[in-house]
Amino acid sequence: MNTPTIIDGKKVSAEVQQQAADRVKKIIEKTGVTPCLVTVLVGSDPASVTYTRMKRKRCEAVGMKSMKVELPEETTTEQLLAKIKELGDDPAIHGILLQHPVPSQIDERAAFEAIPAAKDVDGVTIASFGAMAFDLPGFGCATPAGIIDLIDAYDIDCNGKHAVVIGRSPILGKPMAMMLLSRHATVTICHSRTTDLPGLVKQADIIVAAVGRPNFVQGDWVKPGAIVIDAGYNPGNIGDCDYEACAKNASMITPVPGGVGPTTIAALINQTSIGAARQLGLDLE
């Protein structure tokens, strides 16, 4: 019976957070400035409230300041843009996270684009995507960046491998494909209109599931020895992959929860510390 290596996101996230804590300590020692991340939440969606609270706690755990901005459900795009501009102009704030999704009346893309690139520590702006795609200094989207941390921690060699990304979200599937391409993988992006999706997935050496549908990827889609990275998180702590079935063929696999989730937050925290160092003119990377 196949026994895959379980990719431990909690362990990797702790290592990444330690890197951030070390950097924050150096920033404070050299400048007297404590890096600060602000979370912006529009409305009171229970899951979003929980996520922003978790992010602030992790932020404080590495020695950074956390600040929360909570706006009412009926906030307009113009009001949100004005608040983000105010935060962007504040030199004491080094990272801005807009919790998404936002209420339907708000132009989410316009809100993302209001975040200055230097403070876009969640990697959601067009400027950040462009920098990442061209291998220039910038910030990757937090979930794909966290997946890269997992890949590095487990010495997964992407060079020449066929990676299949299921999902084409501008803040997950698309940047994930670019990051894998930068690691010299051959990348196929699949989506809801892909013909013969199971057949394409079965060609993959590395599978990244980011489709937002519980237990979507089936075990017989996974060729023996493939690496399965599940970026999905659905109600009931269920990922996008049928874990038990996929584990029968995979050589390595991420659990849900405890896989990609912890490293997503760790990447956000680490990128905030990097952003603070850059804004303060320190070379600590």
pLDDT in tens, the chain (285 residues): 789 999 999 999 999 999 999 999 999 999 999 999 999 999 998 989 998 999 999 999 999 999 999 999 999 999 999 999 999 999 999 999 999 999 999 999 999 999 999 999 999 999 999 999 999 999 999 999 999 999 999 999 999 999 999 999 999 999 999 999 999 999 999 998 999 999 999 999 999 999 999 999 999 999 999 999 999 989 999 999 999 999 999 999 999 999 999 999 999 999 999 999 999 999 887
Active-site annotation holds for 279: no
Q: Which one of 8, 55, 83, 242 is the catalytic residue?
A: 55
Active-site annotation holds for 8: no
CA distances from 134 to 91, 128, 181, 182, 246 (A): 28, 10, 11, 9, 34
Q: Which helix (H) or strand (E) holds 40?
A: strand 36-42
- In the chain, what are the domains? 32-118 (3.40.50.10860), 142-260 (3.40.50.720)
- For residue 57, give the nearest of 220, 258, 218, 269 by alpha carbon: 269
- For residue 52, give the nearest of 17, 93, 99 by alpha carbon: 99
pTM exceeds 0.75 for this model: yes
Amino acid (1-letter code) at residue 53: R
Report the alpha-carbon distance of residue 115 to residue 94 in Å, rounded.
11
Q: Which one of 8, 122, 149, 230 is the catalytic residue?
A: 122
Cis check: omega of the bond before 257, within 30 degrees of 0:
yes
Query: 86 Cβ partners below 8 Å, 6+ apart?
Result: none
Active-site annotation holds for 99: yes
Amino acid (1-letter code) at residue 45: D
Q: Which one of 17, 83, 99, 119 is the catalytic residue?
A: 99
- How many Cβ atoms are within 10 Å of 271's Cβ, its own excluded? 25
